[in-house]
Chain A
């Protein structure tokens, strides 16, 4: 009790407690704490769902929201800020295959192969969370589709 007789925030007052969202006891007491912990992953999951749907519909993907720095670097290389064709590198390869027009003077096939192998390596060597792992698989799947369409042989 405070001097004025009004009860002040106790350690179980989730609105003011500094340990909100981090203490296991608090999480057990308030399931909303679990949701608070998941909040940072919501946009990433939404972006992943969007890209997965677009992959299924054979439409150009957008840059995913990822957490692992190695995967982030691969994603940045696949989707440049000044890209002319939607869909990043896979989009550029498909554009050349379907229209015969080069994008920036290049077929991007060699780059596609190297980026694909880079993603394979990231999946093998990095400790990815579930969202990142799925994002990497979506990107690999999209890139392999474009490379196969360009006639690259599977070893």
Chain B
């Protein structure tokens, strides 16, 4: 299978949207995520740079799943889904893309979790989920 290695595959691609400012926005709204976000960036020291989907995979979605399943206080869930709604309505299509693939798709793939999360989801996030 040496021909696979001979194909002109780049070492990495640069993310189209910087992950850092959005991570700051998330931490500002949900300070409980400060530790996991810091750990995430600590683990991704080497290039390639992490992208929003990677942040969603490693930090956002696991947190959403844990909090929703635990039935955490309504206020925390509302803050959390408020940030997700802002990402779902972000003017940059790449942010919306990352939000859909990193958070909405895995939610929809787990129907029981999706049902639990529905009451907290904003209208655009819900619309994204229903389109899938």
A residues touching B (Cβ–Cβ < 8 Å)? 52, 55-56, 73, 77, 80-82, 89, 104-111, 113-118, 120-121, 124, 134, 137-138, 140-141, 144, 147, 152-155
Contact = CB atoms under 8 A, between A and B. Distances in A.
- Pairs A-B, 5 closest by C-beta atoms: A114-B51, A114-B53, A111-B101, A117-B48, A110-B94
A137 B4 contact: yes
Given A110-B53, A111-B102, A137-B4, A120 B12 contact: yes
18 contacts: A52-B4, A80-B105, A104-B105, A104-B128, A104-B132, A105-B131, A107-B97, A110-B51, A110-B95, A110-B101, A111-B101, A114-B50, A120-B48, A137-B9, A141-B9, A144-B10, A153-B14, A155-B10
Interface of B: 1, 3-5, 7, 9-17, 44, 46, 48-54, 57, 93-98, 100-102, 105, 108-109, 128, 131-132
B113 to A, nearest CB: 14
A154 B13 contact: yes
B13 A152 contact: yes
Contact residues of A: prevailing secondary structure? helix
Residue picked from A89, A107, A111, A134, most chain B C-beta under 10 Å: A111
B54 to A, nearest CB: 5
A121 B4 CA distance: 18
B13 A108 contact: no
A81 B94 CA distance: 23
A117 B13 contact: yes
Contacts of A147: 13
A110 B54 CA distance: 11
A77 B93 CA distance: 20
A137 B5 CA distance: 7
A93 to B, nearest CB: 10
B27 to A, nearest CB: 19
A104 B12 CA distance: 26
B109 A110 contact: no
